[in-house]
Amino acid sequence: MAKLPILMYHHVTVEDGKGLTISVENLEKQFNHLAENGYKTFHLQELLELKELPKGKNIVITFDDGYVSQMNLALPLLKKYKLKATFFVPLDFLGKTDTWNTSSLEIMTSEQLKSLDSKIVELGFHSFYHKKYTALSNAEIESDTRRCMEFVSENGLKFSPVLAYPYGKFPKEKARNEIFKKTLEINGIEYGLRIGNRINRFPFKKPYEIERIDVKGEFSILKFRQKVRFGKLF
């Protein structure tokens, strides 16, 4: 089984970044590192169709929350360095702001999502209402997931059957976890992504508990390189 790190980003800024916000300067340094060192990027839809990864360095790049900054600042860098990424979008907030966070950062509209080059950007689900699944009932999770599917169909959006859990949270208690996974499966979701900060092995043993590396805005390029290689640093 081959190693497959999955990176997680959020907002991109022209200013200094920290936490969930990364500066475009640091993002470019990281993308340049990946390109110069021969990393091959994948969309998650491509992984669904693969039995094994090609030899060499492989990686997945993801961005959560569908911020306009991802289109304006991250997309040009993805094009420049010939990289692919998955944008996970909370659908109730299209054309609005991130009221669960800053309430000031703009989220893309349906039309902006449609304008993204699908060869570079794959769209994935980030729930409908951006609520912690651990705080919702089984019925509420089912309703939220079903609403996602209805929304993309009604609005002519092309989404891959992949879901990044808001806040990385999902029900872990055995009985609830089984219901949760079944709910996703019934609604057509094939991959579920958490955080975890560990390096995955592909093929995934737990397709509804795929781990991602939380890339902080303050990471030096050295720390970024270490996280890509080792995941969780102790």
Q: pLDDT class for 148, splitting at 50, 70, 90?
A: very high
Q: Indicate yes or no: pTM above 0.75.
A: yes
Q: At what angle do helices 24-36 and 221-230 cross, to 10 degrees?
A: 50
SS (H, E, C) 118-161: CCCEEEEECCCCCCCHHHCCHHHHHHHHHHHHHHHHHCCCCCCC
- In the block, which residue shows the tokens 């976890």? 177
User: pLDDT per residue over 89-146, tens digit each?
Assistant: 999 999 999 999 999 999 999 999 999 999 999 999 999 999 999 999 999 999 999 9
CA 123 to chain centre: 9
Q: pLDDT class for 23, splitting at 50, 70, 90?
A: very high
CA pair distance 1, 46, nearest whole angstrom: 17
Which residue ranges make up each domain of the chain?
2-230
pLDDT for the residue 4: 98
H helices of the chain, where? 24-36, 44-48, 68-69, 75-80, 110-115, 138-154, 174-186, 221-230
Say which CATH class 2-230 falls into.
Answer: alpha beta
pLDDT for the residue 234: 64
